[in-house]
Structure 1
Amino acid sequence: MTQKKPNILVIGGGPAGLSAAEIVSANGRAIVTVVDRMPTLGRKFLMAGRSGLNLTNAESETGFPKRYGNAQHWLVSAIAAFPPSAMIEWAETLGQPCFTGSSGRIFPKSMKGSPLLRAWIGRLAEQGVQFRAGLRWRGWNDQNEVILETREGHEETLSPDAVVLALGGGSWARLGSDGQWVSMLAARNVPLSPLRPANCGFLAEWTTPFADRFAGTPLKRIALSFAGETRRGEAVLTERGLEGGVVYALAVPVRDAIETRGEATVLVDLRPDLDVAVIVEKLKRVRPRESLTNRLRKAVQLPSVAVALLRESGIVPKDAESLAQRLKAVPVRLVATDSLDRAISTAGGVRQDAVDERFMLRAIPGVFVCGEMLDWEAPTGGYLLQAVMATGHAAGQGVLDWLAEREAVARTGVGAVSGRP
């Protein structure tokens, strides 16, 4: 007799869900369906590719896991099973050769997400994966059937043999991940941590003239310091505060300080390539009667936005020594994180103690979770997508292992595996 293939439902068509679908469908043992509430798949993946799709990072095997902070020991096995080298091989088998940038970030040579996503979906279709767009997950009914809702408001129920949840965090809701799954899992007693902004901007109390004039202006070649950590890069002044790569790099300690004390003061070094003594010497070469803007432009080539930020920080010293020291440490008081929806990614979600080693929910056997739904965070630079896809692969393999255990129990009658989700 031919054994019926199990039906696996993947809810969420981003990189985590597609990774899980790829693993489960690869050996042809299961029928896999991917559903997503958006009309098309991988929207956040495509958004990330607009500025150059950063797939992963060439950092050493010892340093890489440390980028995940307190979650590193939880994620290490998943990343070891799908490391950066596997990410590169995956992209190249889809016809997208990769290169490593000077910062260690790894990109496809096309620098775009769309060719990679098209090839990926094509390969999944060849493996038998079915796709259904425009369906929102609404949890389970009293019969433990999965409830899906169409765009027209109609409901349908499914009874899959296993479910993979890959619904993202709570940022960029217009791209699909709106965090509504939190209440559904909480109702099933799944341990959760509150969703919090990660890799986010922060709010500052700018004066109106400063915000009106400089909102959207970049601060280039600066260094940002907080709590003993310093990062170089660029930031962008927004109408409400600060954002950008150098800000995201310090987002965790700044966010935590704001949550504890209600504010955090970061220090901006406007000329990190010059030390105080050099700046003092350059300032002394400019005639004292020059305006502050001209003086700083001629002495250290500061753009007008940097001079304005200096003024915004308070009284500007006049003597060369004090002014040079202020240029190296302009205080900016931050009072709140920007909104969760505007964050690059989110922390919080399904806690480590909520899942087993296969990323299956302990409270709901047969339901697996991956990607940003899990409670971890990492800096930008390739670490986000690497963990998203690694946990997707791990959840997909977890499904296969769980199905194999069920089959073994059914065949031998030995052991006990929980039934349908």
Structure 2
Amino acid sequence: MAAEALAGAGWRVVVCDAMPSPARKFLMAGRGGLNLTHATPMPRFLDAYGAAAAPLRPFLEAFGPEEVRAWCEGLGQESFTGSSGRVFPRAMKASPLLRAWLARLAGLGVELRPRHRWLGWEGAALRFATPAGERLLAPRATVLACGGASWPRLGSDGAWAGWVGGTAPFRPANMGVRVAWSEPFRTRFAGTPLKRVRLRAPGFDAMGEAMVTAAGLEGGLVYAASARLRDAAPLTVTLDLRPDLDRAALARRLGGAGLSLANRLRRAGLPPVAAALVREAAAPRDDLPALLKALPLRVEGVMGLERAISSAGGLHWAEVDAALMLRARPGTFAAGEMLDWEAPTGGWLLTACLATGRAAGLAAARRLAAPSGDG
């Protein structure tokens, strides 16, 4: 986005990418359909960013959900809004959008240099590791978009924090949680979806879906609660396995105590994975309706950065000015997950990356064009 903004303003742009091919995390995001943004209107859209909503506000108000959709469709990719409010390209893939985007950038004269990993500064120049050895580049303006620290095998490992300074430690965000399943449960149900359940944790109460994994739980409902779970683990949360029924209606469905537990759970309409969770729980079953409405689940911890969808932490907002320029290095701007913010999945992550990238590129272009010669 920064390259598009700069090239669109008439500047020659070189994009140095550490990986052999561009946009690997963008393509990974597309495996689930490429959730571009969310149809929630401003200012409620901003609420998802928590403490970072204030510094992100001007960039998202300039390039929010409607602008993301227009940009996508301007690249020839029609979008649609799902029943949950999430916005996707009609193709439900990242690759067609990426191909169109790269073609637009090439048409603007943007040069892509793969296998160029940034190693920090040497004086005023940027030092890169390249296939031909180390190389120095001295651009008139620089936009850093090195990402956070999640999924490091895709290129963003957070190593840049060692030489930029003024960063908050990276922590996993939008990640799964660890649960110590019994071996029989793990063997039988790993990879099984847990549909239409309600998760309650301190400061969190929402309904959705999760996925049982060998190590615990993942999925949209867990990701939505992940920041609170990360900061409080280990802790016990509860699952409502039939949020559509109140306790009285559930009691009628369960039937009398003379029935076996398996039959009662079947009468309650629980799928096998939910019924197995009841057996898995170290909790009394004398009040079965109450147990099904608040099944205790011990969260031992959270998954690490290597599989987290995103990361918390990064460059403190105090280190950049209102135009995202590093205060310690005039002419250098930062964007995306390098900055210290986090948001839930659902379109908020990608929208803020696009918005800050665009803002940093426009700010760099303004600086280059300034008559003061600051460029």
**What range is the shorter-chain TM-score in?**
over 0.9
Instruction: Measure the CA separation in 2 of the matches of 1:296 and 1:60.
Output: 41
1:362 aligns with one of 290, 308, 327: 327
Distance 2:315 2:346 in 1: 23
Residues paired across the two proteins, number: 375
Structure 2: where are the runs of 5+ without partners? none
SS in 1 for 2:300: strand
Contact 1:54 1:382 in 2 (8 A): yes
**Structure 1 moving runs of 4+ over 4 Å:** none
The whole-number CA distance in structure 1 between the counterparts of 2:215 and 2:104 is 44
Which residue of the partner structure matches residue 25 of structure 2? 44
Pair 1:165 & 2:136 matched: no
Helix, strand or coil: the match of 2:253? Answer: helix
Q: Which residue of 1 aligns with 2:340?
A: 375
AA matched with 1:149: A
Deviation at 1:339, TM superposition (A): 0.6
Alignment correspondent of 1:177: 156
Matched position secondary structure for 1:362: coil
Structure 1 residue 107 displacement after superposition: 1.1
Give the drift of 1:289: 3.6
Corresponding residue number in structure 2 for 1:8:
none
- TM-superposed CA distance for 1:151, in Å, is 4.2
Aligned residue in 2 for 1:328: 293
Distance 1:99 1:240 in 2: 34
- Contact 2:173/2:308, CA 8 A, preserved across alignment: yes
Which residue of 1 is the match for residue 268 of structure 2?
A: 300
User: Per-residue displacement from partner, 1:160-217 (whole Å, max 9, x unpaired)?
Assistant: 111111111111112111111111213xxxx111111111111122223322322222
C-alpha distance in 1 between matches for 2:72 and 2:107: 17
Alpha-carbon distance between aligned partners in 1 of 2:237 and 2:318, rounded to the nearest angstrom:
34
- Which residue matches 1:281? 252
Aligned to 2:172: 197
Contact 1:271–1:328, Cα closer than 8 Å, also in 2: yes
Could you tell me the TM-score, scaled by structure 2's length?
Answer: 0.97
- Alignment map for 1:67-216 (pairs within 5 Å): 67-141=48-122, 143-151=123-131, 154-186=133-165, 191-216=166-191
Residue of structure 2 in register with 1:339 after alignment: 304
How much has 1:310 moved relative to structure 2? 1.4
Q: Which of 384, 387, 403 is the matching residue for 2:352?
A: 387
Any conservation in 2 of the 1:269–1:329 contact (CA below 8 Å)? yes
User: For 1:127 and 1:409, how far apart are their aligned partners in 2?
Assistant: 26
Contact 1:82 1:390 in 2 (8 A): yes
**Deviation of the 1:108 alpha carbon:** 1.2
**Aligned with 2:226 (options 251, 254, 263):** 251
The one-letter code of the counterpart of 1:225 is R
Q: Is the 8 A contact 1:49 1:112 kept in 2?
A: yes
Once superposed, what is the RMSD of the aligned Cα atoms? 1.4
Q: Which amino acid letter does the alignment assign opposite residue 242 of structure 2? A: R
Q: Residue 203 of structure 2 contacts residue 228 of structure 2 at CA under 8 Å; is this kept in 1?
A: no
Aligned partner of residue 205 in structure 1, secondary structure: coil
Q: Percent identity?
A: 50
**Distance in 1 separating the partners of 2:87 and 2:285:** 44
The TM-score with structure 1 as length reference comes to 0.86
| Structure 1 gaps, min length 5 | 1-18, 411-416
Of 104-113 and 206-215, more deviation after overlay is shown by: 206-215
Q: AA paired with 2:34?
A: L
How many Å apart are 1:311 and its aligned residue? 1.8
Give 1:228 deviation, angstroms.
4.2
Q: Within 1, Cα distance between the matches of 2:43 and 2:62?
A: 15
Q: Secondary structure at the match of 2:356?
A: helix
